[in-house]
Amino acid sequence: MATYIYTYAGYEDEQSLRALEMRSLFSFETQNNILESPVKIDPSRSPFIKERIAVIFEGESLQELLEIVGGFEVTGETFKVIYVKNGEESFEKRRVIEREVGLMIKGVGDLRNPQRLFAVMYVNGRWVFGDYVKAESVWFHHQHKPHQYSTALSTRVARAVVNIAIPDPNGIKAIDPCCGIGTVLVEALSMGMDIVGSDNNPVILAGTRENIAHFGYKAEVKYKDMREITQHYHVAIIDLPYNLCSVISPDEQQEMLQSARMFADRVVVVTVEPIDEILRRAGFVIVDRAVAKKGGFTREVIVCR
């Protein structure tokens, strides 16, 4: 079975959200910055994953790994070996090990513009060698969109929420029925997910569509109250309205969530208010949750079915 090693990074106040994303993508969480799993995830999907190693060889000692790598040949492309830190290894030690491993590989090395990257790492009591992929902070580029809401989810949080809602996008049809300016839609579309949006505020929808088009994506975005949605979806991502222009009563929240219960099998709700009882009355079972922070805002991300 293939093994993938992921390294993580993030701020302390993101720990809860990061752990929920881990559980959603991999079915478990770790207490450190390393996660090992047979599940293959593009590291650029997560705002918290730094890199991924697809393990090819492993050895109990560095010498054993070097001997194994000595039989490895790379043809048709140049390569480079990177040492992935997992402790206090000095710069000099890392460079020495990179060179030792690189010299054992049969092929053409290229330190400047390699066509293939490999990594070596000491992790969980053994040395590993494998293909290396560094995550790209796609969410960071999405911060610079034509239209913004000061109270909208950050692109970083929105990306994590999408992963929590849709860990495996194959065959999944999703909706953001309170899509606002489109932050969640842009993150989902950038990961190739099948998602549509709607909102009952017609004033913002031109800006929503412009934000989506700005990054070269396409999606259906309708002017529609979510209580009028009849089409079925596998997942709904609902960032409940809470700004001064979108004040909704508990009764309205109840109606919205009851409608979501009818058109979606699974719902991830983002809220700034306690809504557990409203969710239960709407017929949902809460299966997991996390806290997400942005400046002075604290939100809950609640996974329901």
CATH of the domain at 273: 3.40.50.150
- Decide: residue 5, CB within 10 A, 0-12 exposed, 13-18 middle, 19+ buried: buried
Output the domain CATH number for residue 45: 3.30.2130.30
* pTM over cut 0.75: yes
Specify the number of domains making up the chain.
Answer: 2
Q: Are residues 11 and 116 in the same domain?
A: yes
- The pLDDT tens digits for 87-113 are 888 999 999 999 999 999 999 999 999
Range of the domain at 163: 138-304
| Sequence letter at residue 101 | V
- The pLDDT tens digits for 164-196 are 999 999 999 999 999 999 999 999 999 999 999
Q: Are residues 211 and 293 in the same domain?
A: yes
- The pLDDT tens digits for 197-247 are 999 999 999 999 999 999 999 999 999 999 999 999 999 999 998 654 456
Picking from 134, 152, 174, the residue at the C-terminal end of a domain is 134
Cβ atoms 24, 39 nearer than 8 A:
no
